[in-house]
Chain A
C-alpha cells in the first residue's frame, strides 16, 4: 500500500496552483483524507499532486447574513467550531459532527469533501439541500457551480481537470426555520448507510412554507426531495421518502434496508426540524435570525 510515483508541487498562491493544475494529470491535495488512501491503494495515479495547503487566502470561513462561505482549506473541525457559522446556518455544524472522527475532521476540508463528491458523505447532501454553490477557478477563469449541477455522479464533481474548487457557499437559514441532520451508520463515524439533512421554513402564519430533504447514501448523488406537501404528517413524509430514494445494496446494507432507513430518518429529522422552526417562530418573531447573522467573521 505505497503510492505509485508522482510529481509534487506546493504552490504558495492561487495563481501558481492554477498554473500547476493546467498541466495534464495534476490533482489537488488538500486534507488528503480521501486522496491519500486512494493513492496508497493504487486506485488513483495522478502524474502530479498540487498541494494547496500552503496557498495563501484559501483558509477563510466567512459567515454573513447571506450565508457561510468556506475557503478550500477550511477544515471540518474549524467549520464545526465556528459560532458564527452555526448561527447563520446551524445545519453545517450538525452535519459536520457526523463526519468521521476528530482526527479526520482536523485534517479533512469541507470543500475537499464536496469535491470528492462521495454520495455517502454528509456535506454534499447539506450543500444540495441548502441550494449552495461551489466556486471554481482555473487559468481560464472563475465560475460558480450551483449544487444542483455540481454533483454529476458518484465521486464525480462537475469540475474540469484544471479547476480548483476555491470555496463553497452555504446559504443562511431563513427566518422562522429549523433544520436537522439524521443518519444511521454501522459504527460511530462511518459513512452513513443512509442519512438526511432536513430544512423546514414556516410562513408568517406558522404553517410550513417549505420543507426540503437532502439524502446521502441512498443514490448515486445527493438527492433532494421537496417535502412541503407531505410535511404535515410524518408517516406521509416517510412513505414519500421511501418511494423516491433509489439506494443500492452493498456489503453493509441491502437496498431495502436503506430505503426503509430513508423513511425512518426523514420522519425523525422532519419532526426535529419542524419543532425547531416552531420554536424559532415563537421565540424570536419574524426576522430575528437576519438580525444576528451578519456578525460572523472569518474563522
Chain B
C-alpha cells in the first residue's frame, strides 16, 4: 500500500475554488425562486392574540402569507425532540410557526412568500401581530428562582436533572485535608458561521418528488425529517448540502422551522421557494451556547491531588430543548479532563429561559467543563502555594492506565472510557513550548519596564468520533477516476482533501484522480452528520474500509487478467502490477472496464469488456455468483465507543496597568488527535478553534436585557475577534494512535476552542493577582475587578497589584481570592479552606494568610 499521501501536509484541494469566489453556497442557487421571509416575535414571552395580514396584501409581488392556522397535519405539530434522554423529563419543542405563545425574541410567527426577498420583507413588515406580553425569564438565576415560568407545565423551569456520579464525592470532600468552594460563570456565545442557515426547495409535481438544498450539517437526517413531516417516502426527497460557509455546530440542529416550511410551501405553491437567513435572524432565530453557572466543592490533599469533586451545574438551555441535554452531559463528563479524580459527582439542572435555544457550538459544553476543572487546579495550586503545572501533573492519568474508565456515561450512551493518550508528555511539551520554567525571569524583566505579564495553562480531553456510524462509497470508473462519497456534510473542514488522501493511500492512486462528494443524499443515503469532531474518524475509516473492498476486488480482477496471484499484486499510481515487476501491469481504469461485463461498447476501451472479448469460460456466468458488476465498494464504520483526543494549551498575556486591556502575547498548543491525516488541516482546525476560544475568553457574549431583548444582535456589537485580535498559535503534535479504529485517528475539529477560556483566565489571574471566575473577561470587567480587589486590599494591607510576582511562585495567586459579585449575579463567596481542621504547613509558606495582598481570609464565608 502506498502510504505517502496519508499524513502529508498537502494544501487543501478545495481552496482555489473557494478562495476565488467559485463556491456554490445556498444563496448562489435558485436565482429564480420565490423568496421567503419571516415575521418574528419582538417579545421574549407573549401570547399571540391575533394576526392581521390585510396591510401586507397590498404589496405587489406577494404570493402567500402563512400562520400556524394554515399548517396541515404533521407540519402543525411541535418540532421533534431530536435526542431524548431519561433525565430530560420536561423536554419541550416549539412549533414551526408559533401557535399561541412565543417564548423568545425571534420565534417565527408567520411566513411570507413573495417574488423576491425585498418584497417579502416589505410584506412581513406590514403583518400586524397582536401580543399580550407575559413575564420574561432571563438569566440562569431568574430561571432557577422560578418566580415566572417559561412553560406553564414545567415546574421550576427545570427541563432536566442529571446526576453523574463515580464514588462518594461528598464523603471524600468531608474527609479531605483541604476544601475549597467557589462559583464560576461562563456567558453565552454562538457559532456565528459567516454563512447563515438557508433552505431552497423545488417540487417536481409530475414525479412527486422534492429536491431540497439546505445549509446543514446533517443532510440525511434533514431528509428523514422532511419526509416525515410532509408524509413523503424518503426516496422521493433528495437533500443536498451545497458548499456550506461554516457550521460550528448550529447547523446540526434540524429540522429548523424553515427547513419544514420552505419545502412545504414549495409543494403547496408548485413553485421554487428559497429562504436565506440574514445576520439579524441568525442572532435571534438560530441557536446559542455556553451559558452555565458552576458551584464547585473540591477536597484535596497536600500534594494537590483531588480526592473529591462535587459540581452543581446550572445550564441555560433557552426556550426549548430540540437537541436534548447533550451539552450539559458533555460538560459534566468532559469536565474530568485528563485527570484521575478520587470521587466525582456532578448534578446538572437544565433550565428554561425566554431566550434563544441552546444547542452545541464547537466544543459543545467542554469549554465550560474545562474552565471548571482548570480553575479548580489553579485554585488548589494557589491555596497550597504549589506550581500550577505541578498540581496538574499530580493528578494526571498515566500512560499505562489506558483504557481508563472514568466510571460515567458519555453523550453517546456508552461508558466514558479513554482509549489512549500520554497526558504527562502533553504537559511536559507545553511547558517546554511556552517556556513555563523560565517565565519568572521574563516576568521580572517585563515588570522592570513597567509591563505586567502573566502565564497560564490548561489541559483537556475531548471525546471525538461518536457513533452510531458513517459509511463510505468508492467507485473507480473506466477512466480511472475514483469517486468517493460519504453521507456526512462539509462546512469547510477540508474533507475534499483529507478523505482523498485516505482514499489515495488505501487504493494506491494519485490524489488528483480522487473526487469526493459529501452531504448529498443522491450519492449516499445513510449518514449521521458532521459534529462532535467525528468526520475524519467516522467517514475517514468508513472510506478506508470501502477502499479496501475495492482494492481487493481490483486485485482479484487484475490477477485474472495478469494470470497472477492477487497476493503478489500491488497498486502504484493507479496501476495494478506484480510486486517488484512494473511490466506485468494493468491500470485500474482497465480493471474497471473488466469489472463490468458489457454487451454494448461505447468506446474502444470498453470494447475489451464486451461478450466476445472477455476471457471468462463459457461455462460460467459473466458475473460470478456473489459478485457484482463495477469496481465499487461500500462499507460502514461503527465504533463501540468514542475516541478521546487530548491537548494542553498555554498562553502568556499582558494586561495594561492603566486601561485594563488584555493582549495575548503568545499562545502554545500541544495537541494529540492520534495519527494525523493531514497536519496542515489539523493546524488550520487548531487556529480556527483557538480564534473562537479567544472570542469566548475575551470578546463574545450575548447581551440580553431583563426583558429578553438581545442588545448586540449584529456584527458591530457582537464582538467576533478579527485577525488582529487572534494571536499566532505555536503548535506541537503528539500522535498517540487510537486502538479503536483501523486508521488510528481521533477527531480534531473542536480541540482548539476547548481550553482557551481556562488558559486565558489562568494567565490574567497570574498577571493581575486577582481571582478570575467569569468569562468572557472584558477590559471593563477587569477594570472593575481591580477596583473591588484594590478596595478590599486597601482595607487589609494595601496594594494588590503585582501579587502574581509577589507570591513568589509561578502559581501566582488568584485562587482563594474574594470573588467579584458581578452583573452575572454570582454569589459573593470566599474560598478559604473550608476544612479548618487542616493545619497550614508553615514550612511551605504557601498557605494563604489573612491580610496577604488579595488573599481572602479564612472564614470569609
Using A4-B122, A251-B703 as known contacts, list a sample of 16 further A-B pairs with CB atoms less than 8 Å apart, ordered by residue number in A: A1-B121, A1-B278, A1-B280, A2-B117, A2-B118, A4-B121, A5-B122, A184-B659, A186-B699, A187-B699, A187-B721, A189-B722, A193-B780, A251-B717, A252-B717, A254-B780
Is the CB–CB distance between A260 and B278 below 8 Å? no
Is the CB–CB distance between B783 and A257 below 8 Å? yes
Instruction: For A4, list chain B residues within 8 Å (CB).
Output: 121-122, 125
Shortest Cβ distance from B660 into A: residue:
A257
A291 CA / B519 CA spacing, docked (Å): 70
- Name the interface residues of A165-192: CB closer than 8 Å to any CB of B: 184, 186-191
Contact with A along B768-799 (1 / 0, CB 8 A): 00000000001110011000000000000000
Is the CB–CB distance between B780 and A253 below 8 Å? yes
Instruction: For A256, list chain B residues within 8 Å (CB).
Output: 783-784
Is the CB–CB distance between B122 and A257 below 8 Å? no
- Name the interface residues of A218-269: CB closer than 8 Å to any CB of B: 251-254, 256-257, 260-261, 264-265, 268
Contact of B724 among A188, A257, A261 (CB under 8 A): A188
Is the CB–CB distance between A257 and B725 below 8 Å? no
Is the CB–CB distance between A188 and B722 below 8 Å? yes
Contact with A along B112-123 (1 / 0, CB 8 A): 000001100110
**Residue A143 interfacial (CB < 8 Å):** no
**Residue B661 interfacial (CB < 8 Å):** yes
Most chain B CB atoms below 10 A, which of A1, A3, A190 = A1
**Residue A41 interfacial (CB < 8 Å):** yes
Is the CB–CB distance between A264 and B725 below 8 Å? no
**Residue B711 interfacial (CB < 8 Å):** yes
Shortest Cβ distance from B116 into A: residue:
A2
**Residue A42 interfacial (CB < 8 Å):** yes
Is the CB–CB distance between A260 and B712 below 8 Å? no
**Residue B206 interfacial (CB < 8 Å):** no
Shortest Cβ distance from A268 into B: residue:
B658
Is the CB–CB distance between A189 and B724 below 8 Å? yes
Contact of A264 among B659, B699, B703 (CB under 8 A): B659
Is the CB–CB distance between A260 and B783 below 8 Å? yes
CB distance from A5 to the nearest CB of B (A): 7
Instruction: For B278, list chain A residues within 8 Å (CB).
Output: 1
**Residue B279 interfacial (CB < 8 Å):** yes
Is the CB–CB distance between A253 and B778 below 8 Å? yes
Instruction: For B121, list chain A residues within 8 Å (CB).
Output: 1-2, 4, 42
CB distance from B656 to the nearest CB of A (A): 9
**Residue B719 interfacial (CB < 8 Å):** yes
CB distance from B770 to the nearest CB of A (A): 16
Is the CB–CB distance between B779 and A184 below 8 Å? yes
Q: B-contacting residues of A (Cβ < 8 Å)?
A: 1-5, 37, 41-42, 184, 186-191, 193, 251-254, 256-257, 260-261, 264-265, 268
- Name the interface residues of B272-304: CB closer than 8 Å to any CB of A: 278-280
A186 CA / B703 CA spacing, docked (Å): 15
CB distance from A89 to the nearest CB of B (A): 27
Is the CB–CB distance between A257 and B779 below 8 Å? yes
A191 CA / B712 CA spacing, docked (Å): 14
CB distance from B824 to the nearest CB of A (A): 14
CB distance from A186 to the nearest CB of B (A): 5
Contact with A along B696-721 (1 / 0, CB 8 A): 00010001000000011010110101
Is the CB–CB distance between B125 and A42 below 8 Å? yes
Is the CB–CB distance between A187 and B658 below 8 Å? no
Is the CB–CB distance between B724 and A187 below 8 Å? yes
Query: Which 6 residue pairs are nearest across A and B when measured between Cβ atoms?
Result: A188-B724, A251-B703, A1-B278, A257-B780, A2-B118, A264-B658
Contact of B719 among A41, A184, A187, A261 (CB under 8 A): A187
Q: 8 A-B Cβ contacts within 8 A?
A: A2-B117, A188-B724, A251-B712, A252-B778, A253-B779, A256-B783, A260-B783, A268-B658
Is the CB–CB distance between B711 and A254 below 8 Å? no
Instruction: For B780, list chain A residues within 8 Å (CB).
Output: 193, 252-254, 257
A207 CA / B509 CA spacing, docked (Å): 80
A268 CA / B122 CA spacing, docked (Å): 50
Instruction: For A251, list chain B residues within 8 Å (CB).
Output: 703, 711-712, 717
A254 CA / B125 CA spacing, docked (Å): 34
CB distance from B664 to the nearest CB of A (A): 13
Shortest Cβ distance from A5 into B: residue:
B122
Instruction: For B722, list chain A residues within 8 Å (CB).
Output: 187-189
A272 CA / B721 CA spacing, docked (Å): 29
User: Knowing A2-B117, A4-B122, A41-B280 touch, does A187 contact B711 (C-beta < 8 A)?
Assistant: no
CB distance from B850 to the nearest CB of A (A): 29
Instruction: For B279, list chain A residues within 8 Å (CB).
Output: 1
CB distance from B451 to the nearest CB of A (A): 15
Shortest Cβ distance from A263 into B: residue:
B658
A191 CA / B714 CA spacing, docked (Å): 14
A246 CA / B167 CA spacing, docked (Å): 57
Contact with A along B660-690 (1 / 0, CB 8 A): 1100000000000000000000000000000
- Name the interface residues of B721-756: CB closer than 8 Å to any CB of A: 721-722, 724-725
A207 CA / B279 CA spacing, docked (Å): 54
Instruction: For A264, list chain B residues within 8 Å (CB).
Output: 658-659
A251 CA / B699 CA spacing, docked (Å): 11
Is the CB–CB distance between A186 and B125 below 8 Å? no
Is the CB–CB distance between B784 and A257 below 8 Å? yes
CB distance from B537 to the nearest CB of A (A): 35
CB distance from B661 to the nearest CB of A (A): 7
Is the CB–CB distance between B725 and A187 below 8 Å? yes
Instruction: For B659, list chain A residues within 8 Å (CB).
Output: 184, 261, 264-265
Instruction: For A253, list chain B residues within 8 Å (CB).
Output: 778-780
A188 CA / B783 CA spacing, docked (Å): 19
Most chain A CB atoms below 10 A, which of B279, B779, B784 = B779
A252 CA / B721 CA spacing, docked (Å): 14
CB distance from A38 to the nearest CB of B (A): 11
A4 CA / B724 CA spacing, docked (Å): 35
Most chain B CB atoms below 10 A, which of A2, A3, A37 = A2
CB distance from A37 to the nearest CB of B (A): 8
A37 CA / B716 CA spacing, docked (Å): 10
Instruction: For A254, list chain B residues within 8 Å (CB).
Output: 780, 784
Shortest Cβ distance from B705 into A: residue:
A251
Instruction: For B660, list chain A residues within 8 Å (CB).
Output: 257
Shortest Cβ distance from A1 into B: residue:
B278
Most chain B CB atoms below 10 A, which of A184, A188, A251 = A251
CB distance from B254 to the nearest CB of A (A): 24
A80 CA / B670 CA spacing, docked (Å): 43
Instruction: For A37, list chain B residues within 8 Å (CB).
Output: 716
User: Knowing A42-B125, A261-B659, A264-B658 touch, does A186 contact B719 (C-beta < 8 A)?
Assistant: yes
- Name the interface residues of B552-589: CB closer than 8 Å to any CB of A: none
Instruction: For A268, list chain B residues within 8 Å (CB).
Output: 658
Is the CB–CB distance between A186 and B778 below 8 Å? yes
CB distance from A78 to the nearest CB of B (A): 23
- Name the interface residues of B510-536: CB closer than 8 Å to any CB of A: none
A191 CA / B715 CA spacing, docked (Å): 12
CB distance from A129 to the nearest CB of B (A): 21
Instruction: For A187, list chain B residues within 8 Å (CB).
Output: 699, 719, 721-722, 724-725
Contact with A along B141-166 (1 / 0, CB 8 A): 00000000000000000000000000
Instruction: For B721, list chain A residues within 8 Å (CB).
Output: 187
A193 CA / B722 CA spacing, docked (Å): 17
Instruction: For A260, list chain B residues within 8 Å (CB).
Output: 783
Instruction: For B658, list chain A residues within 8 Å (CB).
Output: 264, 268
A3 CA / B118 CA spacing, docked (Å): 7
Instruction: For B724, list chain A residues within 8 Å (CB).
Output: 187-189
A193 CA / B121 CA spacing, docked (Å): 34
A42 CA / B784 CA spacing, docked (Å): 36
CB distance from B169 to the nearest CB of A (A): 38
A190 CA / B712 CA spacing, docked (Å): 14
Instruction: For B712, list chain A residues within 8 Å (CB).
Output: 251
A254 CA / B725 CA spacing, docked (Å): 22
CB distance from A216 to the nearest CB of B (A): 15
Is the CB–CB distance between A188 and B779 below 8 Å? no
Instruction: For B778, list chain A residues within 8 Å (CB).
Output: 186, 252-253
A265 CA / B656 CA spacing, docked (Å): 12
